[in-house]
Structure 1
Amino acid sequence: MPPPAVDSFLAEDPERAFWRLPALLLGVLAGSALQLQQAALWDWRAYAGLLLWALACGALGAWLVRRSWRARSARALRWLRRGAWWLALVVGALGAFAGVGLRAAAYQDDALSPALEGRDLRVTGVVAAMPQVSDVGLRLRFAVESAELAGRAVALPPLLELSWWGASLFESPEGSQGEDADPTAVSARATPSIAAGERWAMTVRLKAPHGARNPYGFDSELWFWEQGVQATGYVRTGRRDVPPQRLARTWLYPIEQARQAVRDAIFARLLPADAGAAQESPLAARAAGVVAALVTGDQRAIERADWDIFRATGVAHLMSISGLHITMFAWLAARLVRWAWGRSARLCLAVPAQSAALVAGVLLAAAYALFSGWGVPAQRTVTMLATLALLRLAGLRWPWPQVWLLACAAVVLVDPWALLQAGFWLSFVAVGVLFASDVGAADAGAKGVRGHFYALLREQWVVTLALTPLSLVLFGQIALVGLLANLLAIPWVTLLVTPLALAGVFCAPLWQLAAWTLQPLLALLQWLAAWPQAVWFLPQAPLWAGVAAVGAGALLATRWPWAVRALALPLLLPVLCWQPARPAPGQFELLAADVGQGSAVLVRTATHNLLYDAGPRYGRAGVASDAGQRVLVPLLRALGERLDMLMLSHRDADHIGGAAAVLAQQPKAALTGSILNESALLALRPARPCLAGQRWLWDGVAFEVLHPQAQEVAAAERAKHSNATSCVLRISAAAGGDGAPGASGASAAALLVGDIEFAQEQALLARGAPLAADWLLAAHHGSKSSSGAAFLDAVQPRTVMVQAGYRNRYGHPAPEVLARYAERHIRVVESTRCGAATWASAAPDEVQCERTQRQHYWAHVPPPSRTHDGAIDGTGGSAAVMAR
């Protein structure tokens, strides 16, 4: 029996027991989050040493807890328990940091060797997931069993992501970025029918996962890391290649085989037999994709245009397997099992119906999550449900903050990289706010349909208040119609469409009924998305403003008096009023976006913006996406920029591929460039040709077009040589401004030259054009047909920017061009190594690289030098000074 003083202390502070476990859980979250900030992984021994320290601290904490049992005073007990609390925090943090680091180091050991990139490898393995079919071919996950290079066994990562292009495709969806395409890889063969679980032998070319890195952009390398994919590539099907061979159909990956069978059955039943019928009934075709996504988790079955509508109306979380669907499925399964279990007295005596229902609900929800592809949201939800079920089975009734922290920590232990996913924060902030606002208890007395409707309305209102600021921070947008759309869509999809779609697995005609019930909802959402100002876009604010806004959302969602909740409004002001810094008058800034094998440069002055080129199209028109959709539109929205002008240097697809998307998002931007024969773009907006001699002044910054001349345009059009008509634009800061002087002693300047070649460079020199510049966009992405010695001597740039795709099939930048840069001690900045690059006329010696500013250990680092189709990429071996 404890001494009276200790007994009195416990009576005065009963919450001490509550605060011991949260210390450990907080440590797990903090340690995991801290490890994810590492730019590079340590040696595994360092993580093992931290783990030993965690064990030592844990032993000390256990000793303190044991001493607290024999404490003879409340003061001694207080100090002992404080020490145990801090040690629990340290144990959780060190243990989680070390555990995540060890997992990452072990995973990184299986990475693809740079020596195997771009080589013809003969691999044997099994299709590990249902293939994703499109008009241009298919993509498949391939589990490697063995691999050979020229008859010699080599080691490859366990899981590959492969593309198998169709017969008519000469440019892959990523081909413009140089990621997978090779013209010799395309043959007259059509892509075969491939099923999960089949064993194949095929010749492939691989590379490390390498994605674009732009401010506020999607981190595809992190996505591949979470998926367990450590190499991507394409299947070689050329006439000189050993053809792929189906070896056997195996029993492996039975769940994926079942998923593929169900998905194909849904499409066979719901999709019209011919394309003409599909065009006559587009809603039916769109509904088929949503039904397939709800049943099998195949999100690529939903068209990109529909995803845009779902995001604009805030219902994207409903249209694929999400935590809401799995939770609903678990609740329904538990109710059915409890009802059936209660019919048997013998079963109830053996195991209470409530406990059996709880276990069955979690197990069936896990089975549903597995069948839906076991995506990250599904894993997160199942982990949380299992944690809560274990608490209930153990008879523990913990306070909601402790339950919430335990669920968070459990998810992070399973998948630490979930902390970097927007869905993690949206899910747990919503759950935490619902717990804190006590919505369920408040509406417990509600009776009847009216009461349930009120409960649903208030719950949606609370979640919307809490998550709107968080959505603004994460995505830079607010769906103003989101509350109305979710109020209609949540019960419609959750209680009607999804049950019918799932029941269709056992009774196929129900799929048709699910599609019919979905079509009016799709039409309604399309109507809501078309409302003026349906979506509100704001520049993305810094972290401190985002934290304040999330706190404001949580405060607004509480049940405190409105006088108290009104204090949240000042916390919202920073995120609502945030504007990125702009150049001073007379100065300008360039942001060379990372768009792969293409060009796109944003020019910003004090109050104006110009976009030079719009990046490539990733695939054939109307089939895949482009740099405008993927990179430039999100970037412009995140920066809060409104374009005054879009200049398209010439009509090559890698320069104008994203123009239509940019023009759609920038209705007031003037269009100019060498695109006179691009009728599709000219139908969107009238264009003025760019011609030598055009000049204008923005905020004290001078813009001058140096090329082409009118007669050169006519000659190039006759020769069908679009590179020769590239707009050459020189931008110079105001003389005597605040910026440092350029290389020539005058104000700092930049030169954007498109894809001009030697002939155009010589013409510019012959005309005596003012070419001197501190920053040069490499002509034709560093092609050997450009960047002549005389031209470089005239420009005398400090920095040259090469916008080219990683392992592009053209070999850009060419070794001889890099050698010319090196001879002149020109700093070379490559988008493959730098990501998006920012340069300012006020600091012409500095270049900020997105990959350097935000380094992560999962990010791909190109090797110092590599061989690609016989060409040496000399960026590492040359004397060029790389960007810091």
Structure 2
Amino acid sequence: MTPGQGRPPTLDAGWIAALCAGVLAQLQAPTLLHHGPAVGLVVFAVAAWAVAHHLARRASPSSGGAVSMALSWCAAFALGAGLCAMHGQAAMDRRAPAFLDGTTVRLDVRIVGLSEFRANGARFTADIERVVGAPADVDDALATRRIALDWYGGGHDLRSGEVWRLAVRLRPWSRPLNPGDPDETRRALLAGIDAHGSVLASERPLRLGAPGGLHALRGGVSDRISEALGGERARFVAALAVGDTRGLSDGDWERLRQFGLTHLIAISGFHVGMVAGLGVVLVRLVWWWWPTLAHRMRRRPAAAAAALAVATAYAALAGFSLPTVRTVLMIGVVAFVIGRRRRSPTAQPLLLAMALLVLSDPFALLTPGFWLSCGGVAWLLWCLPGTADPWSPRTFLKAQWVATLGLLPLGAAFFLQVPVAGPLANLVAIPWISLVVVPLSLLGTLLMPISEAPSTWAWQGAAGAMDAFWWAMAQVPEAWSSSRWLPEVSGGALALAVLGVAIVLLPRGLRWRYAGALLVLPMLFPAMTSPPRGEFSVTAFALPRGDALLVRTATRTVLVDAGPEPVDLARRLRAAGVESIDLRIETRRNAGRVGCAAGVDRAFVPRHHWRAPGTTASVRGTLRCEAGRRWTADGVVIVALSPAPPAAGASPDEACVLLVSSASGREAWLASDAGRWVAHRLASPSAGAWVIGAPATLGHWHAALGASGGIATRAPGPSLALRWPNDLHRVDREGALSWHSSEPNAPAGARNGPPRWWHPAFP
């Protein structure tokens, strides 16, 4: 950070990059710096910045410029790492301690945010105002904390801003166990949630206070939109007016992802900028109507202050999402510069807004909104000069091209998919939604305090415009609306893709710039590690109350069972790099093994299908999983050993038992739920074999086979867990595990990414 000659001090992009690098270094670390070293880094950063500032002022440019810049960048890195560690220590100190897991407490809570209503209950966030009748240590651990609650079978009459007395059972924190699992602890860290639990239905809840405050106002506007339009038509208007996306179904989000339009169905910086422009227009009208005001205050500073005030109020109504905060900060910087009657470089508002965001909330770098919002503005500032006419069609098309291509690597890294029709869909959707739907939604919200009829008309116009656009998207052929799904993107592939996009967006005179597209290919087509020919791997997913196993050979993929219904197994399979399924096998026809079968079949359309024993193979090309069934690929053989063909398949002992054999003789027994008698009848001692199955029968199979090891596909019961042998692995404790026939000594972890400091430790 060096001052320029004859102008106020400015931030440079290198200082911001070093600050973000320091924050990311701490965020990606498995452990958190202690308070002492973190404070030491901040003190060092301040001292280094003071020395760099002194060198920049006193030394000559040739001798001190490079040294002061390098020193200021080191100071920015240390400042970012130290502040992030201090924020992390404060967040972890506020987290509910482990000794409260499973305990029941009575809490007086105030509902914050917008509650999410489901068929089986409600999910909401609340601030704890008082702990009722609890010991002092429990009161100290929970008072003034924020808690996330699930209310099963109730909670449908909750309103934002209300105060309730509830009996709550606290739950332990969990960490991602499978590829593609959402990181709930990271979400809690970003939302400032310190505990989570479930509302007990055994004790009567009490409503202690009526709705009040900003949260009640936001919920009231959303309810008013729903009453005026009806739940189905109001979902997009409420999302664009106050950021309420609760009405959008999974099908709505899926279609938006297919066309790359999820960034439009939220209150973005563009929407806040439109509202800020309304403040400028109002000031201009007032100054035109009352010209003598110019003698007391210049019109430009007044317009800037009005824009900042209106933008801040609207960002508060929208829940202070990160893109809105970034825009408010940028507007604040511009208002400050105008008020001081100084000129500032074009990129300074963005750089200052980023610095303020990172310094006040380092955890913002964990959110896609930070990178997509700031990255989109940065691409536009770099590729579109300030002298370009913003109203010309050419400028609009170029801005669309720059935003779509520039954000492609970041969008692919965060959402693990690349929409085929994304650029064309955005070309139509951005002007239609931003210039038609959003203004009508905002107009209805602004008119609501004045009169109900005009606000309803504006909302109906916005809903009609969105319905027309939604109908048009439904007419697009399925081949054009598909997406390419990606496994987890590595940091190196992402850096190469960003560099390639930067090369493509270089000035037009450089004809070789399109060669930069080659650097994007490692991200779009990552090299997947497959077992060598003749060998295989088995991955056991960690699913609640259900099983799913993935068998891979050199070129083929087999899915054994599909897990329980609430679990999105297709997302986990895509995150594991699965692009197609050659054979899907059902070992038993129960909810824990075929609950996600329909979703998997829609996502991958398996080429072959073995149905559970006792079911009728009604679909052409399907077979029953019974003794004698055989499948061979790449030198690997899968054989069904049980049950006999006439079995009914109702009891656990009539589950389909599979034997997977490699060309080198390594074996994996997939025992499903088959019990001890089936194990003694089928199993024969096999050196080096591994057994994978239900925990209740895994020990019997392990003993009958004399196996080298085993993997339990779900958590054992309480009594069995107390005497669980150490040589048998459990996915509920270790996460998803993969056993490779070429490396048979022990299974390898298959979770999505390494552990972070905010994850709880496994027992």
How far the C-alpha of 1:391 sits from its partner, in A, is 4.0
Task: Assess, with a 3 A threshold, how the Cα gap between structure 1 residues 42 and 396 changes in structure 2: closer, same or farther.
Answer: same
Residue 791 (str. 1) matches residue 701 (str. 2):
yes
Aligned to 1:160: 147
Residue in 2 aligned with 1:37? Answer: 28
**Separation (CA, whole Å) in 2 of partners of 1:35 and 1:849:** 24
Aligned match of 2:515: 567
Structure-2 residue corresponding to 1:700: 635
Give distance in 2, aligned partners of 1:128 and 1:270.
25
Q: 1:750 — aligned with what?
A: 668
- Name 1:776's counterpart in structure 2: 691
Q: Distance in 1 between matches of 2:161 and 2:43?
A: 42
Q: Secondary structure at the match of 2:710?
A: strand
Check the 8 A contact 1:20/1:85 in 2, yes or no.
no
Q: CA–CA distance in 1 between the matches of 2:673 and 2:133?
A: 37
Q: Number of aligned residue pairs: give it.
A: 750
Partner of 2:661: 732
Aligned residue for 1:421?
367
SS state of the match for residue 234, structure 1? Answer: strand
Distance change (3 Å), C-alpha of 1:573 and 1:484: closer
Match of residue 114 from structure 1: 98
Out of 829, 843, 846, the position equivalent to 2:743 is 843
Look up the match of 1:547.
495
- CA distance in 2 between counterparts of 1:308 and 1:484 reads 18
Q: What's 1:230 paired with?
A: 194
Counterpart Cα distance in 2 of 1:358 and 1:333: 8
CA shift for structure 1 position 643 = 0.8
The yes-or-no answer on 1:635 pairing with 2:570 is no
Match of 1:362 in 2: 308
Residue type of the partner of 1:232? H
Residues 673-697 of structure 1, C-alpha deviations (whole Å, 9 max, x = no match)? 3175599xx77x8632111222222
* Aligned twin of 1:194: 158
Q: CA RMSD of the aligned region, Å?
A: 3.0
Identify which of 169, 185, 201 aligns with 1:221: 185
Checking the alignment, whether the CA contact within 8 Å between 1:199 and 1:248 is kept in structure 2 is yes
Quote the residue 2:209 is aligned against: 248
Paired with 2:473 and 2:358, the residues of 1 have a C-alpha distance of 34
User: Which residue in the other structure is 1:274 paired with?
Assistant: none
List runs of 5+ in structure 2 lacking aligned partners: 449-454
Does the CA-based 8 Å contact 2:553-2:633 persist in structure 1? yes
Following superposition, the deviation at residue 460 of structure 1 comes to 0.8
| Superimposed CA distance per residue, residues 399-452 of structure 1 (whole angstroms, 9 cap, x where no aligned partner) | 4455544333332223322223233222233222211112553336xxxxxx63
CA deviation profile, 1:693-736 (whole Å, cap 9, x unmatched): 2222221122122222234x32x43xxx4x3332222222222x
After superposition, the Cα gap between the structure-2 partners of 1:675 and 1:501, relative to the gap in structure 1 and judged at 3 Å, is farther
Q: Match for residue 292 of structure 1?
A: 238
Aligned partner (choices 670, 677, 683) of residue 762 of structure 1: 677
Distance 1:455 1:248, change over 3 A: same
How far does residue 93 in structure 1 lie from its aligned partner after superposition? 1.4
Whether contact under 8 Å (2:83, 2:362) holds in the other structure is no
2:102–2:172 CA contact under 8 A, matched in 1 = no
Aligned equivalents of 1:60, 1:797: Cα separation in 2: 66
Q: Return the TM-score normalized by structure 1.
A: 0.79
CA distance in 1, matches of 2:467, 2:14: 49
Q: Quick check: 1:614 aligned with 2:562?
A: yes
Distance in 1 (CA, whole Å) between partners of 2:413 and 2:293 is 51
Paired residue for 1:375?
321
Shift of 1:610: 0.7
Q: Hey, what does 1:343 align to over in structure 2?
A: 289
CA 453–346 in structure 1, closer or farther in 2 if over 3 Å, else same: same
**Which of 722, 727, 731 is residue 830 of structure 1 equivalent to?**
731
- How many Å separate the matches in 1 of 2:462 and 2:146? 35
* Counterpart in the other structure of 2:451: none
After superposition, the Cα gap between the structure-2 partners of 1:489 and 1:22, relative to the gap in structure 1 and judged at 3 Å, is closer
C-alpha distance after superposition, 1:239-258 (max 9, x if no partner): xx32111122264xx11101
- Using the TM superposition, give the Cα deviation of residue 532 of structure 1 relative to its aligned residue in structure 2, in angstroms: 4.1
Matched, 1:654 2:596: no
SS in 2 for 1:299: coil
Question: What does the per-residue CA deviation read over 1:6-59, in whole Å, with 9 as the maximum and x for residues that have no partner?
Answer: xxxx9xx98999897545433321211111112121321221222222233234
2: CA distance between counterparts of 1:589 and 1:15?
A: 66
Residue of structure 1 equivalent to 2:452: none
Name the SS for the 1:128 alignment partner: strand
Aligned to 1:816: 720
Q: Give 1:330's aligned residue.
A: 276
- Which residue in the other structure is 1:406 paired with? 352
Matched, 1:558 2:506: yes
CA distance in 1, matches of 2:740, 2:233: 49
For residues 35 and 465 of structure 1, do their structure 2 counterparts lie closer, same or farther at Cα, with a shift above 3 Å needed? Answer: same
Partner of 1:276: none
Deviations 1:262-306 (A, max 9, x none): 2222222222xxxxxxxxxxxxx5432111111221222111101
CA distance in 2 between partners of 1:772 and 1:150 (Å): 56
Alignment of 1:90-101 (within 5 A): 90-101=74-85
2:112 pairs with 125, 128, 149, which one?
Answer: 128
Aligned to 2:396: 456
Q: Tell me the equivalent position of 1:475.
A: 415
Q: Distance in 2 between matches of 1:627 and 1:352?
A: 58
In structure 2, do the counterparts of structure 1 residues 149 and 484 end up closer, same or farther at CA, with 3 Å as the change threshold?
same
* C-alpha contact 1:293 1:299 (8 A) present in aligned 2: yes
Q: SS in structure 1 opposite 2:113?
A: coil
Deviation of 1:317 after TM superposition, in Å, equals 1.1
Structure 1 unaligned runs (5+)?
A: 1-9, 69-73, 167-189, 272-284, 445-450, 619-625, 736-746, 806-811, 865-884
- Matches of 2:464 and 2:504 in 1, distance apart? 39
Which one-letter code corresponds to 1:215 in the other structure?
P
Contact kept in structure 2, 1:465 and 1:554, CA below 8 Å? no
2:221 alignment counterpart: 262
CA contact (8 A) 2:587 2:657 kept: yes
Pair 710,534 (structure 1): closer, same or farther in 2 beyond 3 Å: closer
Q: Pick one of 38, 50, 64 that aligns with 1:47.
A: 38
CA change 1:342–1:725 in 2 (3 A) is: farther
Q: Are 1:614 and 1:627, in contact at CA under 8 Å, matched by a contact in 2?
A: no
CA shift, 1:96, in A, is 1.7
SS at structure 2 position matched to 1:203: strand
8 Å contact kept, 2:693–2:711: yes
The answer (yes or no) to whether the contact 2:615–2:624 under 8 Å persists in 1 is no
Deviation at 1:578, TM superposition (A): 2.6
CA distance in 2, matches of 1:122, 1:600: 38
Quickly say closer, same or farther: Cα 1:242–1:266, change in 2 above 3 A: same
1:767 & 1:751 partners in 2: Cα distance?
11
- The residue aligned with 2:250 is 304
Q: Contact 1:422 / 1:474 at 8 angstroms: preserved in 2?
A: yes
